[in-house]
């Protein structure tokens, strides 16, 4: 009977000591972050006899799909113990990857546009070397098949086969993995396998074993038509509730009592208004209530979401907070795209991201939405995009000003409840902009873009030094132990950035006045009521 072994590189199985934001350590450059520092912070998911007891969600979904495709001898192996499971029965080793060349937005920022080597790249190719070495030493003709979002990076290489890879898989495979594996085993598959179409919601199987951080997938795909984004190319599908319940129960049985509701945008869940993108608040709040009602669940939080629905319907956020019991000692974290303060860039590349508001109102939406989130104990981790095609110096400067404006306005209104971070990311060609050039930090950095980087990181240092000790006071031993290291690390980063800017001829002390934003949103809800605003004191 054929054996299928599934794995990934060990940057994806690292828990990074469960410290917030440290998941990005894999994007750091090998040449700048010493190996002993990386090893000290690199804690791995539990394994038993080499089998992952808790695995990244992508591997769990793949495992379930392979079983659905007709295979029974499947191992989800820890990458550091892969050799244990490869024998004469092994026909395919499937490798899931996210950033194998270090060309993701975070890695491109940390590695100066790829001039240095991200740990994700080093560890991925280290693993390929091990796999190819096993194949040659044991003379077992298994195929190495690489998939996941990172396979797109590898497909752009002319010589990708020389590293031992036999096939690259591009696209979603839940519904076709059985047929695909048979073709690989029979030698009938192309080198680069492009999967056409997408599985329906009903064709996406439930995981059968625990997933890292209690991840479960709520919906997949998007429809906002942001031109720089790959998820927009996939139509949105909402996973049936019985599948969600099964996945939650599996995680709870392994002691994972936090239900992490993953999606490309949680506020698109069961969307009905595809014109103005007004959220289906009743269904969204009901989703969180249903998750919290499962036996053993102690908390539920989203992974990603968009900001406009928050400003459009503050009651939705309040409802979710009430459902999950959010409060001073239990904050809801969410990743969101601020991207830019420029209405022109919003209109050009992501007009639907602002709906039901207009691109001109986007700065107000950002401030109002952050106010609503913070008021209800939500901590948004924003991204900003450096180097969108056509971005002007004033666009970058306005984004830096918007961060300063939020700092001041939210602190004045909310005091210690005001929290957010902004992580600037390099523009990476994707979606309908896949033929554009990536942002090159070394060649395209201007003083205005430097100031956006500097303001963002300066605020992040402030959050880490203020929010972590507040969290660590709640018996969070890991955060408490990390705090002195974090302070020193952040101080070192800011010192480096300051000196770097000065060497480039930029002024890190240049005064940036806040944007003149009165936060008075003019769009009205479907019921005809003007949305509440921060200025109104709601």
How would DSSP label each residue in 198-249? Answer: ---GGGSPPPSS-BGGGEEEEEE---S--TT-SGGGS--EEPPHHHHHHHHH
CA distance 477 to 282: 37
Q: DSSP letter string over 279-298? A: --HHHHHHHHHHHHHSTT--
Give the pLDDT score at 474: 46
Q: Is the pLDDT of residue 473 over 50?
A: no
Would you call the peptide bond into 507 cis, given omega within 30 degrees of 0 as the criterion? no
- pLDDT at 522 exceeding the cut of 90: no
pLDDT value of position 128: 98
Give the Å distances, CA to CA, from 43 to 6, 19, 31, 271. Answer: 20, 11, 21, 39
Distance CA 125, CA 114 (A): 15
The pLDDT of 378-382, averaged and rounded, is 97
How far out from the chain centre does Cα 254 lie? Answer: 24
Phi–psi pair at 252, nearest 5 degrees: -60, -40
Residue 259 banded pLDDT, cuts 50, 70, 90: very high
Torsion of the alpha carbons at 431, 432, 434 and 439, rounded to the nearest 10 = -90
Residue 193: pLDDT band (50, 70, 90) is very high
Residue among 422, 489, 417 nearest 451 (CA): 422
Structure tokens at 86: 């490869």
The CB density around residue 14, as the number of other CB atoms within 10 Å, is 20
Going from N- to C-terminal start, the domains of the chain cover 3-194, 210-439
Q: Is the pLDDT of residue 71 over 60?
A: yes
C-alpha–C-alpha distance, residues 148 and 165, integer Å = 14
pLDDT at 528 over 50: no
Asked whether residue 366 carries a pLDDT value surpassing 60, the answer given is yes
Tell me what pLDDT residue 19 has: 79
The half-sphere exposure of 126 on its side-chain side, counting CA atoms within 13 A, is 13
Q: What distance in Å separates the CA atoms of residue 28 and residue 11, rounded to the nearest whole number?
A: 11
Tell me the β-bridge partners of 118: 29
**Where do we find the tokens 């020389």?**
162
Q: What is the Cα–Cα distance from 277 to 308, expressed in whole angstroms?
A: 9
pLDDT at 471: 56
What is the predicted pLDDT for the residue at 475?
42
pLDDT of residue 521: 58
Amino acid 469: pLDDT: 58
Q: Which helix (H) or strand (E) holds 147?
A: strand 143-147
Residues shown for the chain:
538
Q: How far apart are CA 501 and CA 521, in angstroms?
A: 37
CATH architecture of the domain covering 210-439:
Alpha-Beta Barrel (3.20)
CA proximity to 363, closest of 511, 526, 521: 521
- Enumerate residues 6+ apart whose C-beta is below 8 A from 100: 9, 120, 121, 124, 125, 146, 150, 153, 154
Phi/psi for 92 (5° steps) reads: -140, 135
Residue pair 184/176 in contact (Cβ under 8 Å)? The answer is: no
pLDDT at 478 over 80: no
Which stretch of DSSP H or E encloses residue 334? strand 332-339
Question: How many CA atoms, within 13 angstroms, populate the side-chain half-sphere of residue 363?
Answer: 23
527 pLDDT above the threshold of 80: no
Give the per-residue pLDDT at 77.
Answer: 98
Which pLDDT belongs to residue 523?
A: 47
Confidence of residue 5 (pLDDT cuts 50, 70, 90): very high
Residues 217-247: pLDDT tens digits?
Answer: 999 999 899 999 988 778 899 999 999 999 9
* Average pLDDT score over the chain: 92
Q: Does the pLDDT of residue 479 top 80, yes or no?
A: no
User: Which residues are bridge partners to 262 per DSSP?
Assistant: 217
Q: What is the pLDDT of residue 491?
A: 81
Residue 176 has pLDDT above 60, yes or no: yes
- Average pLDDT score over residue span 108-128: 96
Which residues have a Cβ under 8 Å from the Cβ of 328 and sit 6 or more positions away?
377
Q: Tell me how crowded residue 496 is: count the other CB atoms within 10 A of its CB.
A: 12
Model confidence at 530: pLDDT above 90: no
H/E run at residue 122: helix 119-138
DSSP-derived secondary structure for 390-446: T--HHHHHHHHHHHHHHHHHHHHHHGGG---EEEEEE----GGGTTSPPP-HHHH--
Q: Are 34 and 40 spatial neighbours (Cβ–Cβ below 8 Å)?
A: no
Buried b (16+ CB within 10 A) or exposed e, 312-344: bbbebbebbbebbebeeeebbebebbbbbbbbe
Higher per-residue confidence, 461 vs 473: 461
pLDDT at 488: 74
Whether pLDDT at 306 is above 50: yes
pLDDT of residue 18: 85
The whole-number average pLDDT for the span 267-294 is: 97
List the single range of 144-148, 364-368, 491-495 with lowest mean pLDDT: 491-495
When pLDDT is averaged across residues 366-384 and rounded to a whole number, the result is 97
- Among 10-14, 38-42, 378-382, 464-468, whose mean pLDDT is lowest? 464-468
């Amino acid at each position: 009977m054929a054996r299928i072994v599934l794995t990934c590189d060990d940057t994806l199985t690292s828990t990074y000591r469960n410290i917030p934001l440290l998941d990005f350590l894999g994007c750091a450059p090998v040449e700048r972050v010493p190996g002993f520092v990386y090893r000290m912070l690199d804690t791995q998911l539990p394994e038993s006899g080499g089998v992952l007891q808790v695995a990244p969600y992508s591997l769990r979904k793949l495992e379930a799909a392979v079983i659905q495709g007709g295979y029974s001898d499947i191992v989800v192996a820890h990458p550091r113990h892969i050799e244990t499971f490869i024998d004469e029965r092994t026909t395919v080793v499937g490798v899931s990857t996210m950033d194998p060349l270090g060309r993701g937005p975070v890695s491109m920022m940390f590695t100066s546009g790829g001039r240095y080597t991200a740990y994700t790249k080093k560890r991925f190719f280290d693993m390929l070397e091990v796999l190819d070495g096993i194949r040659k030493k044991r003379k077992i003709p298994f195929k190495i098949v690489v998939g996941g979002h990172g396979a797109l990076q590898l497909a752009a290489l002319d010589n990708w086969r020389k590293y031992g890879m036999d096939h690259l898989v591009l696209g979603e495979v839940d519904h076709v993995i059985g047929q695909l594996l048979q073709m690989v085993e029979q030698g009938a598959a192309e080198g680069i396998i492009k999967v056409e179409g997408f599985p329906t919601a009903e064709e996406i199987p439930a995981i059968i074993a625990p997933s890292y951080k209690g991840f479960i997938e709520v919906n997949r795909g998007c429809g906002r038509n942001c031109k720089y984004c790959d998820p927009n190319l996939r139509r949105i599908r909402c996973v049936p509730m019985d599948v969600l319940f099964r996945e939650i129960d599996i995680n709870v049985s392994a002691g994972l009592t936090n239900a992490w509701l993953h999606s490309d945008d949680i506020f698109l869940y069961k969307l009905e208004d595809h014109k103005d993108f007004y959220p289906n608040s009743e269904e969204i709040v009901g989703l969180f209530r249903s998750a919290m009602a499962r036996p053993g669940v102690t908390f539920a939080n989203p992974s990603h979401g968009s900001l406009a629905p928050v400003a459009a319907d503050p009651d939705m956020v309040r409802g979710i907070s009430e459902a999950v019991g959010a409060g001073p000692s239990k904050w809801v974290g969410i990743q969101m795209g601020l991207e830019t303060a420029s209405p022109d860039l919003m209109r050009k590349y992501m007009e639907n991201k602002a709906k039901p508001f207009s691109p001109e109102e986007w700065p107000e939406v950002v401030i109002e939405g952050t106010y609503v989130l913070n008021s209800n104990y939500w901590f948004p981790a924003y991204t900003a995009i450096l180097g969108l095609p056509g971005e002007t110096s004033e666009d970058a400067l306005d984004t830096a000003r918007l961060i300063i404006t939020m700092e001041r306005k939210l602190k004045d209104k909310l005091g210690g409840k005001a929290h957010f971070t902004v992580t600037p990311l390099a523009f990476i060609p994707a979606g309908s902009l896949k033929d554009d050039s990536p942002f090159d930090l070394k060649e395209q950095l201007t003083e205005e873009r430097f100031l956006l980087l500097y303001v963002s990181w300066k605020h992040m240092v402030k959050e880490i030094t203020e929010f972590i000790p507040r969290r660590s006071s709640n018996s969070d031993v890991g955060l408490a132990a990390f705090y002195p290291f974090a302070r020193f690390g952040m101080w070192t980063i800011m010192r480096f950035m300051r000196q770097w800017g000065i060497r480039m001829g930029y002024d890190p002390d240049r005064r940036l006045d806040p944007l003149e934003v009165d936060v008075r949103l003019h769009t009205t809800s479907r019921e005809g009521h003007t949305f509440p605003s921060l200025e109104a004191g709601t």
